[in-house]
Amino acid sequence: MVLKLYKSDASPPVRAVLMTIEAANIPNVEMIDVNVLEGDHLKEEYLKMNPQHTIPTLQDDDFYIWDSHAIAVYLLTKYSNNTTLYPSDPKQRAIINQRLHFDSGILFPNLRAVIEPLFYKGEKSFKQESLDKIKSGYEFSEKFLTKRWIAGDEFTLADIFFLASIRSSIEVQPIDSEEFPKLTDWLNRCKELDCHKKVNEPGSIIFRNSIRRLLG
């Protein structure tokens, strides 16, 4: 087995995969940094692996898969005995899958829409309409929290992906604890997790510093 993860720690999707690896104790993953700002992801050798030139990308011998959600599910189903992060029960899995699609369709795209103009168009401020969309994601997340965690009573893959996206989102649109008490409590619980302390928080600080430099 040769597992290689092509990554950039500032990226929320990358951090979600790294947290999955940490939480599930998946060993022997070689980490390869990709400098997006210098165009590493657009080089011919990278495009052969991933024609979408996104990060992260996972290499498993001669098999390549990208999209962080797909990577995390692949790793858990092939290389982990963990039964709580992505349980086999159809109803539990359906809820987790719904939350994963919410992250891929709402939470992370809303964040990306805010920061891409800074990285690629040289803008020096955030658009209010984009910030409002991030807040809308918080509103739905607050409603999802009918139990202790995003998808129920147990910490799952859904929490990992929400944590990666939301922890970065608060760098541009802070969470009002009075308006979103459940989301605030959930985030505080997540901050005590080893996978957050070891992986997500350090990467979030890199993300924050990048944003501040671009804002001047």
Residue that is written with structure tokens 């005590």 in the block: 192
- Show Cβ contacts of residue 210 under 8 Å, excluding neighbours closer than 6 positions: 10
**Using a CB cutoff of 8 Å and minimum separation of 24, what contacts does 191-198 make?**
193/23, 193/155, 194/22, 194/23, 195/18, 195/19, 195/22, 195/23, 195/160, 196/19, 196/163, 196/167, 198/22
Closest CA to 1 of 59, 68, 86: 59
The residue length of the chain stands at 216
Instruction: Please name the amino acid found at residue 26.
Output: I
Q: Which residues are known catalytic residues?
A: 11
